[in-house]
Structure 1
Amino acid sequence: MNQALAPASAGQQQRALWLSTFAFTVCFAVWMIFSIIGIQISEQLGLTDTQFGLLIATPVLTGSVSRVFLGIWSDQFGGRKVLVLVMLCGAVATWMLTYAHTYPQFLFAALCVGIAGGNFSVGVAYVSRFFPASKQGTALGIFGAGNIGSAVTKLLAPLVMVAAGWTMVAKVWAVALAVTAVLFFLFSKEDPSLEQRRRDGVKPVPFSEQMAPLRNLQVWRFSLYYFFVFGGFVALALWLPHYLVG
C-alpha cells in the first residue's frame, strides 16, 4: 500500500535500475578478482590445487552468507545506504589485500573481499521497490545482467596483471569500487517505500519476522536450485582461467 501511495516516476525508476546495475557489475568484477590474481598468487606461494581452490572459493562464502543479513538490513534501513556501505567495505578490503604475504593472510583478505558479493541481495531489494509487481521481473532481469562483471575481470585484469602485477589489479579494482560507491551515493535516491514509511512513522520489520519465510519448505527448495545453477556458474567462472593456464 505504501508503494502505491508514493509511486516512483519513470525517471526515478530508470535511474535506480541503471545505477544499481552498474554498481552490481563493478561489485561482481571485484568478487571474481581471485579468478585472475589467484593464479599469480598461487605461483608466488607455491599453492596446491586444493589450496588454490579454497582461496578462490572463500570470497564466495562471504558473499553468499552475507546476502541474508544484507537483504534484511536493506529492508530495514534502505538499500541505498546499505549498498554504499557494502561497496566501501569491499573497496577497503580489496586494497588491503595488497598487504597480504602468507596463505592465511590471503584467506582472511579473501573472506573480507567477499562482502562485495553481498551486493546482489541489496540491489534486488532496492530496485524492486521502484517498480510495480508487473514490471519487477523485467527490472530485476536487467539488474541481474550485472553478472557481466565476471567477464570484465576476465578481460581486463590479465592485461593489468601482466603489465604491473596482481597488486595493481587489486588497487585499480578497489579504486573503481570506491568511485562507484561515491557516484551511487551522489546520484541515487532512497526508495519510495522507505520514504513513505518514514513519513508515516512506521518502524522497520523486526529481524525475527524477516526470517519467518525460512519456515517455508519452498524457500529451501528454491535455494537448492539457486545453489546448483548460480553456484555452477560461479565455480566455472573462478576455476576456468586456472584450468586453461594449466
Structure 2
Amino acid sequence: MTAPSTVPSTPPAPRRGSRWIEEWDPEDEVFWEAKGKHVARRNLTFSVISEHIGFSVWSMYSVLALFMGPAYGIDPAGKFFLVAVASLVGAVLRVPYGFAVARFGGRNWTVFSAGLLLVPTTALLFVMEPGTSYTTFMIVAILTGVGGANFASSMTNINNFYPQRLKGWALGMNAGGGNIGVAVVQLLGLLVIGVVGAGHPRVLLAVYVPLIVVATVLSVRRMDNLAPVSNDTGAFKEAVRETHTWIMSFLYIGTFGSFIGYGFAFGLVLQNQFGRTPLQAASLTFIGPLLGSLIRPVGGRLADRIGGAKVTLWNFALMAVAAAFVVLASVQHSLGLFIGAFIALFVLTGIGNGSTFKMIPGIYGAKAAAQGLAGEAASVYTRRMSGASMALIGAVGGLGGLGINLALRQSFLTVGSGTGAFVAFLGYYGVCFLVTWAVYLRRSEPGTPGLPATPETKRQPSYAQV
C-alpha cells in the first residue's frame, strides 16, 4: 500500500477572529505546560456540556416510550423501531459532523450543532400526545438523530487539543461526559413520572429547551477554533482505504453500539419481558448508562497505562460472560439476575469505549513510527488520520445501536422475548475478542520464514501498546 502523505496538500489559509488559535503544538511540553493544557481543559469542559445534552436528546425516545401508554396505540415492536430510527440517523450523521470540525472550526460547529438541538426538542413539545400519528413520531425520531451526531464532532475536536500521552484520558472524559446524558435524561424522566405522572411527557421536554440555549451560549463565549486543523479530504480518503478503520469500527460496534443500543432498549425490555410499569422501569434504566458513562474515562486511563488493545481484549471476554448471564436470566425469567448482568454489561461497554478510542491514535502513531516519521511530521500524520478515522468509526459504531434495537424487535416479534437477540450479542463479543487478539496482540515475526529480513520488513508497526 502506498504510504499516505504526512501533511495536507495545501496549507490552511490564515484565519481571523479572536476565537481562532493560529498555532497549536500540544506535543511540545513547554507549550503544553505554559498555555496548552489550560486552553485544552476549557474547551474539553464546554465540549462535554454540549455533547451531554446531545446524547440526552438522541436518547429522548427511549424515555418517552415509557410515557406512551395504550392511548398512543403503539405496540412494543413499534417503539423499538422508533428508537432504532433515531439511532440510525445519529450514526449516519456522524460522518459529516466529524469532518465539519476541520471545515468550520471546532467552536463554530459546536455552536451550530448545540443550537440545532432546539429543533427536535421543540417538535416533540408539540407532538407528544395521544392521537399523534405514527408517521409524525417517526419524522421527529429522525430529527432527534442530530443529537447523536454531536459525538463525532466533539471527539474529533478534542482529539486535536491533546497530546498523544493524554488522549485516552481526554477522549474518555469527553465521551463519558457526553454518554452520561443518556442516564440523566432517564433520571429526569423518572422524576417527572414520579412527581406528575406518565401523562405529562412535555414537562421533561420543557426542561431541555433552556439547557440547550445555555449550552449554545457557553460554546459561543468559551470555546476556540484551531486554525492548524485544516479541511483535509485526503485524510478521509486514506481513512476509508485503511484496513484498521474498519477493524476498529467492528470492535466499536461491540462497545459503543452495545452501550447506546442497550441504553435505548433497557426500559422497553423491562416493560415488555418482565412486566414492569413505566415508573418501575424508569427507576432502573438509568443505572446502567450512568455507571457505563462514569467508568469510560477509567477505560481510557487504563489504556494509557497498559495499552488499549490489552484492555479491549479482556473487556470483550468479560462482556461475553456478562451476556451469558443475561441469556440465562432471560430464559429463567429472573429479574434480579437480568438487572445485575445487564448493569455489568453497561459497565464493561464503558471501559471498552474508553480503550477502543484510545487505540485509534495509538494505531496511527505506530504506523507513523513504522514509516520512519518523527517529531512534528509524526504528530501531524497521527492527528489527521486518527481524526478522519474517528468520524467513520464513530458512525459505524453508532449503527450497533440500530442493530441491537432491530434484533430485539425481531426477537420479540418471533419468540416474545429478547433471548434470541441476547444469544446473538454473546456471539458477537466472542468474535470481537478473537479479532482483537489476532490483529493487535498476536505475536508475529516480520518477513517470510526462510528469507532474510530487509529494512522494509523490519520496520513493521507494533500494536500491542496502542
TM, length-normalised to structure 1: 0.87
Residues of 2 paired with 1:182 and 1:211: CA distance? 35
Are the equivalent residues in 2 in contact too, given 1:94–1:170 (CA < 8 A)?
yes
Residues of 2 paired with 1:137 and 1:229: CA distance? 15
Residues of 1 paired with 2:263 and 2:71: CA distance? 22
Greater alpha carbon shift after TM alignment, 208-217 vs 72-81? 208-217
Greater alpha carbon shift after TM alignment, 175-184 vs 157-166? 157-166
Q: Deviations over 1:102-136 (max 9, x none)?
A: 11111110111110111111111111222122222
Greater alpha carbon shift after TM alignment, 230-239 vs 170-179? 170-179
Greater alpha carbon shift after TM alignment, 129-138 vs 11-20? 129-138
Q: Deviations over 1:179-208 (max 9, x none)?
A: 2112121111223xx2x46xxxxx6323x6
Alignment equivalent of 2:97, drawn from 66, 70, 83 = 70
Partner of 2:202: 167
Are the equivalent residues in 2 in contact too, given 1:31–1:59 (CA < 8 A)?
yes
Runs (5+) with no aligned partner, structure 2: 1-6, 8-22, 276-466
Partner of 1:33: 60
Residues of 1 paired with 2:243 and 2:156: CA distance? 22
- Report the alpha carbon displacement of residue 242 of structure 1 after superposing the two structures with TM: 2.2
Are the equivalent residues in 2 in contact too, given 1:97–1:110 (CA < 8 A)?
no
Residues of 1 paired with 2:50 and 2:252: CA distance? 22
Are the equivalent residues in 2 in contact too, given 1:31–1:114 (CA < 8 A)?
yes
Q: Does 1:10 align with 2:37?
A: yes
Alignment equivalent of 1:117, drawn from 129, 148, 155 = 148
Letter matched to residue 268 of structure 2: H
Partner of 1:44: 71
- Report the alpha carbon displacement of residue 209 of structure 1 after superposing the two structures with TM: 4.7
Residues of 2 paired with 1:204 and 1:235: CA distance? 32
Are the equivalent residues in 1 in contact too, given 2:59–2:182 (CA < 8 A)?
yes
Residues of 2 paired with 1:225 and 1:62: CA distance? 20
Residues of 2 paired with 1:22 and 1:139: CA distance? 14
Partner of 1:200: none
Alignment of structure 1 residues 54-203 onto 2, 5 Å: 54-100=81-127, 101-146=132-177, 147-162=179-194, 163=196, 165-191=200-226, 194=227, 196=228
- Report the alpha carbon displacement of residue 67 of structure 1 after superposing the two structures with TM: 0.6
Tell me the number of residue pairs that the alignment of Structure 1 and Structure 2 aligns. Answer: 237
Runs (5+) with no aligned partner, structure 1: 198-202
Partner of 2:263: 237
- Report the alpha carbon displacement of residue 59 of structure 1 after superposing the two structures with TM: 1.5
The alignment's C-alpha RMSD in Å is 2.2
Bigger radius of gyration, 1 or 2? 2
Percent of matched pairs sharing the same residue: 25
Other structure's SS at 2:71 match: helix
Q: Which has the higher contact order (CA 8 A, sep 6+)?
A: 1
Residues of 1 paired with 2:158 and 2:41: CA distance? 10
Residues of 2 paired with 1:218 and 1:42: CA distance? 45
Give the 3 Å change call, closer, same or farther, for CA 166–93 of structure 1 in structure 2. same
Are the equivalent residues in 2 in contact too, given 1:35–1:238 (CA < 8 A)?
yes
Residues of 1 paired with 2:69 and 2:223: CA distance? 39
TM, length-normalised to structure 2: 0.48
